[in-house]
Structure 1
Amino acid sequence: MRRRSFALDLERPLATARGTIRRREGELVGVDADGVRGVGEATPLPGWTESLDDCRAALDRIDPDATLLDGPPTDPLSAAPGVADALADAPAARHAVESAALDARGRRDGDALASLFADAPADRVPVNATIGDGAVDETVSATKTAVADGFDCLKVKVGVGELDRDVARLRAVREAVGDGVAIRADANGAWDRETASEAVAELAALDLAYLEQPLARTDLAGHAALRGRGVPIALDETLATAGVGAILDADAADVLVLKPMALGGPARTLAVAERVRAAGVDPVVTTTIDAAPARTAAVHVAAAIPDVRPCGLATASALATDLCPDPVPVVGGAIAVPDGPGVAGDAFEDLL
């Protein structure tokens, strides 16, 4: 198994509840099989995954001669229990190893990753545009630009200012784009229960696709109480805290936002997507602002989910630079799924 450290600056600093992110750092992992190399990416994001130091420590524990290609695509590390144990508490590290094993297997056998997961995966994945927390005029201008670029799903950031301001912004967006464009609002856990309840009452008339993470990540009961009132509720940050089972048991979500880096790999993410879909909850795949290898693998996961909603995979522009040319550019509000073999043919061949 080969490794390489990397660091990528963001196009602009990103403010989060855990501080401001200015760069993404991680590890690339390479797995060789019959003359081809699979590449996987670990880009930890504390709060979602282990720290960078813990990620590297987990990768250090792996036997470099471990056999990684004998497990089924749906559970590629099952034939290497020692590897799986070493990565049990390190989802980003596990993501890298699982991705590399799947990429190597696909490249060896001539199969695209999505085809390892599904008999008839989609050849394009719809994606949403993300609209920042600007003033009304700025927000409307950004939405018009996104729609002109082919996006028919917009995610508007809310929760930074007063609720009245956000309601005005979202009303202006709906008036600007009409009924044919889906609008999501993402509060990133900014509201208390009273504010969130008022927001749902105010926004129900706007036919939102969903309201994402209106309350703190730990408030399962509060999110459950918001459901069924005219605005579907999506959970994102809560998944890292509560886990899938607790969310389903609490009936706390209509939609779950799935990040393969935080869930421990592409196959694990697809398994979660199938589990929540069976429970009547819709999955949406997104990233933790990853580099090209992880972002591309996430596109394959989304392609393997039947009738997937628009996903949060249009994130390459958040990086000032990337590890290689983008194999999954956004065109007309969608991403064409690479047809392989592996994750993206030989696109990552020279990274290790």
Structure 2
Amino acid sequence: MVPELADLLATARVVSLPMTTRFRGITIREAVLFEGPEGWTEFSPFVEYDDAEAASWLRAAIDFGWRTTPTSHRDRIPVNATMPAVPARDVDAVLARYPGARTAKVKVAEPGQTLADDVARVRAVREALGPEGRVRVDANALWNVDEAEHAIHALAPFDLEYVEQPCATVDELVELRRRIHYMGIPIAADESVRKASDPLAVAKAGAADLLVVKAQPLGGVHAAQRIVAESGLPAVVSSAIDTSVGIAMGAYLAAALPELEFDCGLGTAAMFVNDVTEEPLRPENGSIPVVRPTVSTNRVDALRADADRTEWWLDRVRRCHRIVEHSVAL
């Protein structure tokens, strides 16, 4: 069911959340909140995405706000700390925002930085977590195969849990996986799932050992759940730097998976100075609860985007709604 555009716009609230640290090149995260029959939901595709890609995020918002969530297998989700491409000296301060986290995902391959910067950051994370901690790295598809092979060799001494999206294409991932197979370091696919015309292509090609899935880009909890089931691969559920409403969407997805081998990237409410609820889904004892946050009118009012940004986002909702309606009509 696709709600009428008027129903979406009637409850739409555009918010602008300041972040504690620059991430993905941004310091402010914007989102649209809607209130559906099932509760509050979120539409927050990154501003550079075109309407065709952003429409999947609106499908996800509708799915979470207007459809009952799948059966849950757990009521709390273990989460990892998310380490931006900060200097090694700032690692301890970032980890302190994720109390109890036993796992850290470390951003690497940041434009303008060097492999030496990555090594120093990953070393600092490993030292902070100790030998029992889990360290995974995420290159966001910014290495070619040779660069990835070289970087993984340099980072291997820190006992990597896996390397997320080291290269951009499925063919590159296949080749890299062949080259580093003897090292026993798994490859995870993120962009090759959520930005692909066929999110199962990476699994069909044997290009990854596990999938990183995000509810909003994949069209919602139910769609992402089907992708994981059809892939036959283990999955890590992650956020797309959502508000606590969007993180709740990811938590319900993680709760619906029969197996959850890896800590999930759903602790990212810790990256915001403020949030849209009085009880943000920030990590406690290394996990977050599977709940729908109660959106605070006072907080939403305080975080309200200005008039120009509000109209920009509402126009985007209108355009994406037309795409979603058209796809359902076909």
Classify the TM-score, shorter chain: 0.7 to 0.9
**Aligned pairs, how many?**
283
- Paired residue type of 1:326: E
Deviation per residue, 1:255-298 (Å, 9 max, x gap): 2111111011111111122222x2xx221111112122221121
- Select the residue among 22, 26, 33 that pairs with 1:21: 26
Deviation of residue 50 (structure 1)? 4.5
Q: How far off its partner does 1:201 sit?
A: 2.4
Quote the Cα distance in structure 2 between the aligned partners of 1:176 and 1:292. 27
Is the aligned partner of 1:100 residue 2:53?
no
Q: Which residue of 1 aligns with 2:185?
A: 231
Shift of 1:143: 7.1
Whole-angstrom CA distance in 2 between matches of 1:143 and 1:44: 25
What RMSD, in angstroms, separates the aligned Cα atoms of the two structures? 2.8
* Amino acid in structure 1 at the alignment position of 2:34: V
Q: What is the alpha-carbon distance in structure 2 between the residues aligned to residue 31 and residue 135 of structure 1?
A: 42
In the alignment, the residues of structure 2 paired with residue 275 and residue 157 of structure 1 have an alpha-carbon distance, to the nearest angstrom, of 29
Following superposition, the deviation at residue 301 of structure 1 comes to: 1.1
* 8 Å CA contact 2:276, 2:296 repeated in 1: no
**Does 1:326 find its partner at 2:279?**
yes
Question: 2: CA distance between counterparts of 1:245 and 1:329?
Answer: 31
- The answer (yes or no) to whether the contact 1:8–1:322 under 8 Å persists in 2 is no
Moved over 6 A (4+): none
2:170 corresponds to 1:220: yes
Residue 77 of structure 1 aligns with which residue?
none
Query: Shift of the alpha carbon at 1:245?
Result: 2.1
Residue 289 of structure 2 is matched in structure 1 by: 336
Structure 1 residues not aligned, in runs of 5+: 56-88, 106-112
Q: Percent identity?
A: 31
- Which AA in structure 1 matches 2:84? G
Q: Which residue identity is paired with 1:21?
A: I
1:132 — aligned with what? 84
Q: Could you say which residue in structure 2 is the equivalent of 1:180? A: 132
Q: How many angstroms apart in 2 are the aligned matches of 1:38 and 1:142?
A: 34
Task: Measure how far apart 1:13 and its partner are.
Answer: 6.6
Deviation at 1:125, TM superposition (A): 0.6
Alpha-carbon spacing, 1:294–1:241, altered in 2? closer, same or farther (3 Å): closer
Q: Which runs of 5+ in 2 are unaligned?
A: 1-6, 301-330
**Contact preservation (8 Å) 2:278, 2:296:** no
Residue type of the alignment partner of 1:9: L
What is the SS of the residue equivalent to 2:14?
A: strand
Q: Against the structure 1 CA distance between its residues 269 and 43, is the aligned structure 2 distance closer, same or farther, given a 3 Å change threshold?
A: same
Q: Which residue of structure 1 aligns with residue 236 of structure 2?
A: 284
Instruction: Give runs of aligned pairs for residues 162-311 of structure 1, distance below 5 A.
Output: 162-215=114-167, 217=168, 219-227=169-177, 228=181, 229-242=183-196, 243-276=198-231, 278=232, 281-308=233-260, 309-311=262-264
Q: Structure 2: how far apart are the matches of 1:246 and 1:91?
A: 18
Distance 1:39 1:165 in 2: 40
Deviation at 1:189, TM superposition (A): 2.2
Q: Distance in 1 between matches of 2:229 and 2:105?
A: 24
- What is the CA distance between 1:193 and its match in structure 2? 1.8
Q: In 1, are the aligned partners of 2:218 and 2:224 still within 8 Å (CA)?
A: yes
Q: Which whole-Å deviations, capped at 9, do the CAs of 1:189-239 have from their partners, x for residues lacking one?
A: 222221211122233343211111222x2x212212222232211122222
TM-score by length of 1: 0.71
Equivalent pair of 1:7/1:26 in contact (CA under 8 Å): yes
